[in-house]
Amino acid sequence: MDELDRRLINRLQLGLPLVPQPWQVLAEELGSSSVQLRERLQGLLDDGTLTRFGPMFDIERLGGAFTLAALQVPEARFEAVAAELEDMPEVAHNYRREHAFNMWFVLGCASREALDDTLLRIQQRTGLPPLNLPKEETYHVGLYFPV
């Protein structure tokens, strides 16, 4: 990663300009070309430096539902259960925690009913009852990680 990559990542964390040619505006700001910036972004995605680039949607305002959930997974089964969740399109991401509930994941579904069905399907597939931790209130925090 070089200085242009760092400046690109830092700038993208602030959002794309809402104009007809946002990459051209970014190119002017960063002293580059729109083609080079898009190529750099793709390279950062391809090499795993960035895992995702895209908009953030408020799924509930779109009629959907999401939740944070957790499982208590025996260590001997951890990788197998992780693979099971990774195969489910409803699972946005999952990760290990040092806690009795050692696997945490986010579910995003088209409806509340679909969310409930997915939690039940996870229990049926893994034999482990998920801890469902739905959002109670929304807080908007300006998250920014300078690189």
Q: Among all residues, which ones are annotated catalytic?
A: 93
C-alpha to C-alpha distance for 126 and 119, rounded to whole angstroms: 11
Residue 49, phi then psi, degrees to nearest 5: -60, -45
- Count CB-CB contacts under 10 A for residue 8: 24
What is the distance, to the nearest Å, from the Cα of residue 59 to the centroid of all Cα atoms in its chain? 13
Measuring CA to CA, how many Å separate 132 from each of 29, 63, 71, 118? 44, 19, 9, 11
